Structure 1
Amino acid sequence: MSEAAVTAGTGAGRTKPKWSRTFWRYRWLYFFMLPGIIYYIVYHYVPMFGLVVAFQDYNLMKGISGSPWVGLDNFREVFNSPDFPVLMKNTVLISLYRIVFNMLPDLLLALMLNEIRVRWFKKTIQTLTYGPHFISWIIVYGIMFSFFAPGSGLVTTFFRDMGWGSVDVLTNSDLFRSLLVSTDIWKSTGYGAIIYLAALAGINGEQYEAAAMDGAGRWRQLWHVTLPGVRDVFMLLVILRLGSILDAGFEQVYIFLNVRVYDTGDILDTWIFRRGIEQMDFSVPAAVGVFKSVIGFTLVLGANKLAKRFGGSGIW
């Protein structure tokens, strides 16, 4: 039966639009997407209305509608603050250290696990390396404090009793960034390797067989098959981390931070917390939040374009 006859039989005079037929065909998929869509609308898009606080002298009692508008005064106060250059430097450096030193261990661990052929041994290593991810930063700091507490830690006491001098780790500003990066590597490497393991599992095994037939050993297969297979995933993670370069890990930094390491460890988020929560000043922290969002969005666009220029797939 022709399409014209079907149309005439329905009496509608025209067929349904293509988008309507597509929607009805995949209606159950859209239905299961609905909870996720509602979540992002309620918790991610509706709160964006609060960005107007950055342009107001916000008063908690008056609310958004009753607070006076001040234009860009909050941004001027942030950029003219003598603390702003130090906060930016610390934030960017800690974030760059995380990107440079934290991504390679994730990839290396995934490559090593991928080469293990003894199943029970591989599962044991995975369990041991995944475990720290589920430990809170408070517990991690408690572990570090028990080892390196000034005057009473296990390591500091051992060095003192052996006559090797004192060990200053937690309150040493020169070691604070290294402490943050090293503990983050220990905590997140195992969990971060999961993404690369998924990418490695998606590599076609015929590529390894073809490389072996061409005389390539394990190292050559790693260089010419494995690494190109995870390149796009690696670039995607780099782009995403560049987008959050001004988020240097508030929870970890705030827990490890003390007054003796403010010059190298105080970041934008900890300053926002003190200014907004402790001093009840919401407008200036909101301005910093807008500034961070604009910088992150710009970096994501630039990194995505750069990744495509060098042959990567990018985000879109």
Structure 2
Amino acid sequence: MLAKKFRRQWPLHLMILPGVILVLIYSYWPMVGIAMAFQKFTPFKGLFGSKWIGLDNFHYVFALPETGQIIWNTIFISIMKIGAGLIAPITISLLLNELRNELIKRGVQTLIYLPHFLSWVILGGILIDILSPTNGIVNQVLGWFGVEPIFFLGSNKWFPYTLVMSDIWKEFGFSTIVYLAALSSINPSLYEAATVDGASRWKQTIHITLPGMMPIVILMATLSLGNVLNAGFDQVFNLYSPQVYQSGDVLDTFIYRIGMQNAQYGVGTAVGFFKSIVSLVFITTSYALASKFANYRIF
């Protein structure tokens, strides 16, 4: 039976084979390097010639005075991004849903979706220019209202919130599409019945639109828990500087500096391994929550 089924589906297996090979090469084979987390790794000796030191790399990392602050920065920035990443697209999708002019609606969707396709290298240069405390357009506008120039990318007070706002600016357009798709699946007869009963647009939003969106909102919220230790390396790396390490240094940038710039490969791998374990726990938990509350299953 299985052999007959395989013969019937062999073109599909053949089609997926290149993808499986790429996943094995680039996702599973590099996992052998996790062994460096338990070694005093030396490039000249290689993975199998370096000295095994057990958990010493982990003890060293957690003994560093800045480790606690870095973990806090990562969690704080990630949670703000997750929260704002839910509120902003939901709000915009509700507003777009109220537009009756399809031309304006499509135009707005295109404009807010465009930043998603730009890399943080490009957006980082744009943000550095527009947020400059000397000639940036944002501080020029604030100056019209008598506000002193703000060093958004050089102040520990403002930098985390600048990261969150710029991340939302880049990504909320993509998330909006998901919620607009959820809105399109709501039965129009519910709105017709509510209109006959005299319900205002606000009442319809509260009692029909939001409950209709709730399953996808729960799904997106629970799945985003897996990214609680991913504060966004590309963004932070292109925007931060040593003067904002106190509030903006996250685990990914810490791994880059200690592992690549300082050549402490074993220590960097240990931090990355710790991050992966915590992320696995959150992803597993979020998948269980999504399965229970949003009926979302992969298998």
TM-score class, shorter: 0.7 to 0.9
Q: Deviations over 1:76-122 (max 9, x none)?
A: 11111111100000000000010111221112222222332322111
Aligned residues: 298
1:159-308 alignment runs, 5 A limit: 165-208=148-191, 216-308=199-291
Kindly provide the amino acid, as one letter, of the partner of residue 267 in structure 1: V
Q: Retained in 2: the 8 A contact 1:110–1:197? A: yes
Kindly provide the amino acid, as one letter, of the partner of residue 90 in structure 1: N
Q: Retained in 2: the 8 A contact 1:276–1:282? A: yes
SS at 1:171 equivalent: coil
Deviation of 1:63 (Å): 1.4
Q: Retained in 2: the 8 A contact 1:141–1:255? A: yes
Q: Retained in 2: the 8 A contact 1:148–1:170? A: yes
In structure 1, how many angstroms separate the alpha carbons of the residues matched to 2:92 and 2:145? 36
- The verdict on how the C-alpha distance between 1:161 and 1:232 changes in structure 2, with shifts beyond 3 A counting, is closer
Residue in 2 aligned with 1:313? 295
In structure 1, how many angstroms separate the alpha carbons of the residues matched to 2:142 and 2:88? 30
- Higher mean alpha-carbon deviation, 289-298 vs 196-205, is at 196-205
Deviation of 1:302 (Å): 2.5
SS at 1:173 equivalent: coil
Residue in 1 aligned with 2:19? 36
- Higher mean alpha-carbon deviation, 20-29 vs 289-298, is at 20-29
Q: Retained in 2: the 8 A contact 1:75–1:288? A: yes
- The verdict on how the C-alpha distance between 1:113 and 1:20 changes in structure 2, with shifts beyond 3 A counting, is farther
Residue in 1 aligned with 2:29? 46
Q: Which of 68, 72, 94 is equivalent to 2:51?
A: 68
SS at 1:24 equivalent: helix
- The verdict on how the C-alpha distance between 1:121 and 1:162 changes in structure 2, with shifts beyond 3 A counting, is closer
Deviation of 1:255 (Å): 1.4
- Higher mean alpha-carbon deviation, 212-221 vs 261-270, is at 212-221
Q: Deviations over 1:5-40 (max 9, x none)?
A: xxxxxxxxxxxx2x3333334444333333333332
1:20-169 alignment runs, 5 A limit: 20-156=3-139, 165-169=148-152
In structure 2, how many angstroms separate the alpha carbons of the residues matched to 1:66 and 1:290? 21
In structure 1, how many angstroms separate the alpha carbons of the residues matched to 2:230 and 2:172? 19
RMSD: 2.6
Q: Retained in 1: the 8 A contact 2:116–2:174? A: yes
Identity of aligned residues (%): 39
Q: Retained in 2: the 8 A contact 1:133–1:187? A: yes
SS at 1:64 equivalent: coil
- The verdict on how the C-alpha distance between 1:113 and 1:288 changes in structure 2, with shifts beyond 3 A counting, is same
Q: Retained in 2: the 8 A contact 1:236–1:315? A: no
Structure 1's unaligned 5+ residue stretches are: 1-16
Q: Retained in 2: the 8 A contact 1:137–1:251? A: yes
In structure 2, how many angstroms separate the alpha carbons of the residues matched to 1:59 and 1:146? 42
TM-score (norm 2): 0.88
- The verdict on how the C-alpha distance between 1:176 and 1:62 changes in structure 2, with shifts beyond 3 A counting, is same
SS at 1:60 equivalent: coil
- The verdict on how the C-alpha distance between 1:206 and 1:159 changes in structure 2, with shifts beyond 3 A counting, is closer
SS at 1:174 equivalent: coil
Q: Deviations over 1:128-151 (max 9, x none)?
A: 111111222233232232233243
Deviation of 1:211 (Å): 5.3
Structure 2's unaligned 5+ residue stretches are: none
TM-score (norm 1): 0.84
- The verdict on how the C-alpha distance between 1:23 and 1:138 changes in structure 2, with shifts beyond 3 A counting, is same
- Higher mean alpha-carbon deviation, 117-126 vs 141-150, is at 141-150
- The verdict on how the C-alpha distance between 1:160 and 1:238 changes in structure 2, with shifts beyond 3 A counting, is closer
